[in-house]
């Protein structure tokens, strides 16, 4: 039987494409979505549009929502909340307890004076200064970040251009303090 080199080449290309898809799905992809977080000690029952969600104490729930306006109804600390949020981005955090979260922006790539840029900004958390591009988020809905609560910064960020890249992540207050301690102190 004669070998068909074009068939072997086609199968080889399919195998390479399969490996590329697997690498992307398991290593490189970042699933976007929305998180409802409950850092309190009470269960929160929330209705978003016509869907009901129950968030246990110290837990979060990942949900899918289309962009646009959405109604939120829930009760927390004896107050009934009936509000509307507008979703513009592909990821966000719904904060029904209005707790403090911190968005930290980590610079990636080669740049001059990275340390001086890092040290030029700071924020005080519990009477302690934290250096870097950090802002406090305590609104009902926040979407000005790249990585959500349930995602981690990449260990290595590979990019083919020399363009500066800054990736931000949102943290609960205590989680941010621990992250900062482990990485920058």
Assigned token pair, 60 = 């979060």
> Confidence band (pLDDT; 50, 70, 90) for 159?
low
The DSSP string of the chain is ----HHHHHHHHHHHHHHHHHHHIIIII-----EEEEE-SSS-EEEEETTEEEEE-TTEEEEE---SEEEEEEEEETTEEEEEEEEE-SS-EEE-TT---EEEEEEEES--TTHHHHHHT-EEEETTEEEESEEEEE-SSEE---SB-TT----SS---SS---EEEEEEEEHHHHHHHHHHHH-
Assigned token pair, 99 = 């707790």
Tell which wins on pLDDT, 167 or 45: 45
pLDDT at position 1, please?
Answer: 55
Tell which wins on pLDDT, 80 or 5: 80
> Confidence band (pLDDT; 50, 70, 90) for 163?
low
User: pLDDT by residue (tens digit) across 63-74?
Assistant: 988 999 999 999
Arithmetic mean of pLDDT over the chain: 85
pLDDT at position 137, please?
Answer: 93
pLDDT at position 116, please?
Answer: 61
> What are the CA-CA distances from residue 31 to residues 56, 123, 148 (Å)?
23, 30, 10
Assigned token pair, 56 = 């246990």
> Confidence band (pLDDT; 50, 70, 90) for 39?
very high
Under 8 Å between Cβ of 102 and 90: no
Measured CA to CA, the distance from residue 132 to residue 121 in angstroms comes to 5
Q: Which of 26-40, 87-101, 169-183 has the lowest mean pLDDT?
A: 26-40
pLDDT at position 138, please?
Answer: 92
Assigned token pair, 53 = 């969600």
């Amino acid at each position: 039987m004669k070998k068909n080199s074009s068939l072997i080449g086609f199968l080889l290309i399919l195998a390479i494409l399969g490996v590329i898809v697997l690498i992307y799905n398991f290593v490189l992809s970042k699933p976007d979505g929305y998180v409802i977080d409950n850092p309190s000690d009470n269960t929160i029952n929330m209705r978003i549009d016509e869907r009901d969600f129950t968030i246990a104490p110290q837990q979060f729930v990942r949900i899918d929502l289309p962009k646009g306006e959405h109604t939120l109804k829930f009760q927390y600390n004896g107050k009934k909340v009936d509000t509307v949020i507008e979703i513009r981005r592909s990821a966000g955090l719904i904060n029904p307890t209005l707790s403090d979260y911190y968005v930290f922006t980590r610079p990636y790539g080669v740049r001059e004076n990275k340390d001086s840029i890092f040290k030029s900004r700071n924020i005080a958390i519990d009477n302690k200064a934290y250096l870097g591009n950090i802002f406090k988020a305590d609104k009902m809905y926040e979407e000005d970040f790249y990585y959500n609560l349930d995602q981690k910064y990449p260990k290595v960020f590979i990019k083919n251009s020399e363009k500066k890249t800054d990736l931000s992540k949102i943290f609960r207050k205590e989680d941010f303090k621990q992250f900062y301690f482990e990485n920058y102190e």
